Every structure is written in structure tokens, then in C-alpha cells.
Amino acid sequence: MRRTIVRLSAMAAVALSAAAPARAAEAVPLNRQPARTSPEWITHGVIYQIHPRAFTPEGTLRAAQARLPRLAELGVTVLYLCPVFVADDDMDPAGWSPRQKKSGMNNPRNPYRMKDYFHVDPEYGTDDDLRAFVKQSRALGMRVLLDMVFLHCGPNAVFLKDHPDFVKRDKEGKVVLQSWNFPALDLANPGLREYLWRNMETWVRDFDVDGFRCDVADGVPLDFWETARERLEKLRPDVGMLAEGTKRENQLKAFDLSYGWGGAYTTWDDAAAIRTLWESQRAERPRGGARFVRFFDNHDIANDSYDNRIEKQWGAARVQAALVALFTLDGVPFLYNGQEVADTARHSIYARLPIDWANGGTEAGRTRFAFCRSLCAMRRSEPALTRGEVVWLDNDAPAAVLSFQRVTGSERILAVVNLSGAPVTVRLPGLTEAFRPLLAAEATSDAPGAFALGAHGYFVGRK
């Protein structure tokens, strides 16, 4: 009996000593823990979202592949491809999302309502078409992220016949619906987890994709994503993962990037609110690299704005001032398809409504393309924009003007951006040195730290 007691006591001691580091880690505040080290191709990149139904009139991967050289010319380095897997074709509107019904397109094939996770939807082409798309992207110096939808599925998902327990059910066995009126996947089921992990592994191993954008990532248990990353890194050590979510802890192990959401990041017209939001997010998140994608348009926004796209609402000058802010703040800039030609056409994820590429031949379209190309080139050539810390600079027009430096070693980039629609003369009391202009519009300076900015004017300079 005594030996048994001693043995159990020793085992308990081992267990306690093993648990101690875990408890110690938990005791360390999140904002004092380091964010994961991520591959430079994603943290130093420029992301471009391709929504296939809008990207070309044909809406296919082959047609999209033909336009890849133009994106490489633009300076894009990462392509985020909206879901191209087989969508559910169930015609019963009771299983459609409210937005799907509101669109008036009468199309059951919502790309975010999956039927088969393992194959390309014939609407977009074939599995081999995706392989060719990835291969051509890589040859042009661009990486590819696939969009994974693991919170829910379609009512006719192919696995339900053999695995009805892959979706949540109530006590009567009726399918539980997740947000948007779709069947909720049961991520507590080990069999489903294995099925989805193998799915991600298939796209990396057999199609050579570089990583994933994970839809509604916060709705899926974080430990699922952490295990997914561990498994994927065995196939591709530099795999990249982008969370459509805001969980503060998701960049400790699982994700390289999160979505930069918040009211101020929606409108980009209140400089003081942007700084406050940035500072609050920085204070509560892991140190040494917690990162966001920076954007103001994407497939959801374009879909819901219908015939009043941001390009129409804001006008070219305001859009370009916001783009300057996206490309000079920390994080990774994110362009939505057609943004580089000032596209104003209606988009919908529920139907084929293409970008008006003819706009690229107009003065407005040519100007925007050249502007976006210059932003990409500046990000590529200035290390401070990808490695530098953000150092905010006070100014005497804080509601209108963003002012900050990006600092790494002896290199410094200054950004002063008027987000308002009115001219402003602004002073930065702490700035006593002149900066060589890299990019400027409607901006003059007669002394260090003093700028006259036109409506939506900006100055980006290097020291």
C-alpha cells in the first residue's frame, strides 16, 4: 500500500510540474506574450482579393489566370481567392441566407455555402484549372491563399450521407442552423475535425497552395486552427494563415494576420478615432508582431453596397488618401478586385456581375492603376514600411490628419494624411527635420513639421 501511495504521489508531482508552465503562461498577460513569427512573404506582402464571379466576364479560373500578369505588374504578391469549391445548389429558399434572398439573383449557389470541400465547382472550372492557376501565380512571383469555410456547410453537403453527425443536431435529430441560415458544423466531433484537416492538407500537398484565409475564424474553436497549423507546417513550413476574425489570442500560434475591423477602419475619415482604435488594439494584443490586414473594400462590402460602391460614395481623392494610410500603417495592405482601376460596377457573390475593366482605359482608371503600382513599389523598396514600428506624432488638427513615422534602425518614413474633405494647415510640434518626398498630393511644406494639405491631400517622405 505504501508503495502505491508513493507512486501516485510521484505521478502527481510530475503532473503538477508539467502543468506549472502552462499556468505560468496563462498568468502572463496576453499583451506581454510574443506573437508567432510569420513568413515574410505574407507579412511583407500586398494582398489582392479575387472574387471569381466579378474578376472576369467568364467567371472562371482560366479567365482569371489570363489576367495574372497584370496583377504582377501592379506589384501584388499574395492572391486571396474566394471559395472555388463546389457550392450547394439546393433550390429551397428556406435554406438561403437573408442577403442571398435580398440580392434578387435567385441563385442557390452561394460560394460560402459548401457542398463539396474537396473539388473545384464546375462553374469555375476543374481541379486541374486550379493547379494551373496556382502554378502560373507562383511563376509570376505571387502566392495563393484559398478561402476555407468551416463554420457551416450546405444542406446537401456530400459527407452528410455517411456522416450525419458532422453537423449539430437538436434532441429530435433536427439539424441546427448556424448564422446565415446554414447547417452548423459540429467542430466538437473528432471525425469532422480530421476530415477538415485532411481537406486543408490536400490543397497544400496536391495543389501547392501557400495557405488559407479562414472565414468567420472566431466562430471555430481556436485549438482547431492551432492543430491545423501544426499539421500544415509539416507539409509547408512557410504556410500562411489569415483569420477573418478579431480574437486577440489567435496570433499566438494559429494565424499570421487578423482582420483590422472597427468603426474607424470602416470609413477612414476620422483620424483621431483611427489613432485611438490602433492604440487600444495594440495595447491588448500580443507584442512583437500582432498584425492586421488593412482594407476598406472586399466582397462583403461590395456585395452589400449594391449600386453605390465605395468608389462612388467616396470619390477618387478620398479613396486614394485612404489607400495611402493602408500602405503606410503597419499590417498588410489589402486590395479588392477592380480597386486598381477605380471600378464602380455592381458586384454580387450570388451572380456573375463583372468588373468594368474598360474603366482601366479611362483617365481615372489609368491614374488609379499607376497610383496603386507606386504604393506597391514604395512598400517593396522601403524596409521601414514592412519592419518599422509605428510612432505616432501629435498634430494640431487631430480629427482630420493622421501623422506618424515608421521607424526601423536609422530609417524613417513620415506619413501625413488629410482624411477630411477640406483643406487644412497642420503643424507637428515634435517634428524638426525635413523629409525627402516619396509620394505627395495637394501638399506643401514651408518648414519642418508644417504642412498645407488640400482636401484628402497627403505627404509621404523618407529621412
Q: Which domains does the chain have, with CATH numbers?
A: 27-381 (3.20.20.80), 391-462 (2.60.40.1180)
Angstrom distance (rounded) from CA 198 to CA 232: 9
Q: How far apart are the first and last CA of the chain?
A: 76
Judge whether 55 and 337 are in contact, CB under 8 Å. yes
Angstrom distance (rounded) from CA 121 to CA 147: 14
- Cell reading at 92: 429551397
Beta-carbon contacts of 272 under 8 Å, excluding residues fewer than 6 positions away, are 398, 399
- Cell reading at 433: 527635420
Angstrom distance (rounded) from CA 329 to CA 326: 6
Q: DSSP letter at 142?
A: -
Number of H helices, E strands in the chain: 16, 16
Mean of all residue pLDDT scores within the chain: 93
Q: Report the 10 Å Cβ neighbour count for 43.
A: 18
**What's the pLDDT tens digit per position in 23-81?**
545 589 999 999 999 999 999 999 999 999 999 999 999 999 999 999 999 999 999 99
Instruction: Give the distance from CA 428 to its chain's centroid.
Output: 32
Q: Which of 440, 434, 437 is nearest to 458 (CA)?
A: 440
Hunting for cell 495595447 — which residue is that? 283
- Report if pTM > 0.85: yes
Confidence of residue 420 (pLDDT cuts 50, 70, 90): very high
Angstrom distance (rounded) from CA 318 to CA 301: 17
Beta-carbon contacts of 275 under 8 Å, excluding residues fewer than 6 positions away, are 392, 398, 402
Residues in the chain: 463
Reduced 3-state DSSP string for 182-216: CEEECCCCHHHHHHHHHHHHHHHHHHCCCEEEECC
Confidence of residue 86 (pLDDT cuts 50, 70, 90): very high
- Cell reading at 264: 474607424
Angstrom distance (rounded) from CA 131 to CA 126: 9
- 277-286, 301-310, 414-423: which range is least confident on average? 301-310
**What's the pLDDT tens digit per position in 186-241?**
999 999 999 999 999 999 999 999 999 999 999 999 999 999 999 999 999 999 99
b/e for 220-246, b at 16 or more Cβ within 10 A?
A: bebebbeebbeebeeebeebbbbbbbb
Angstrom distance (rounded) from CA 453 to CA 433: 18
